[in-house]
Amino acid sequence: MLAWGAVAPAQAAAPQKPARLGLCAACHGETGMAQIPGAPNLAGQQLDYLREALKQYRDGRRNVPLMRAAIGPMSDADLDELARWYSAQTPAHQGNP
């Protein structure tokens, strides 16, 4: 008997991996855990906060040239997809100094 009922609804609702994730992942990781000093973790961050922060990086209110260069060419839909992806990740436990 096929156990089709075993597909977890929570997993079915998780966002698909964004097409533009690679650039972000270099510093923030694919699952939103920072890979380099100075970069924030994004895993599980509030969706509305991520959306607003991305807008601020794109328009220069948060003046971080690297982020502006990375985000500038992206569409609103791209940014929304990335915000949803990172917000949906579960933070990994990590030691902090």
CA distance 48 to 87: 9
> Is there binding between residue 37 and a copy of itself (CB under 8 A)?
yes
For a copy of itself, the closer CB: 25 or 44: 44
CA angle 62, 68, 94 (to 5 degrees): 75
Q: How far is the CB of 3 from a copy of itself (least distance, A)?
A: 25
For a copy of itself, the closer CB: 25 or 34: 34
Single out the residue of 30, 62, 70, 78 in contact with a copy of itself (rule: CB under 8 A): 62
Distances (CA, A) of 88 to 13, 33, 34, 52, 71: 10, 13, 16, 16, 20
For a copy of itself, the closer CB: 11 or 96: 96
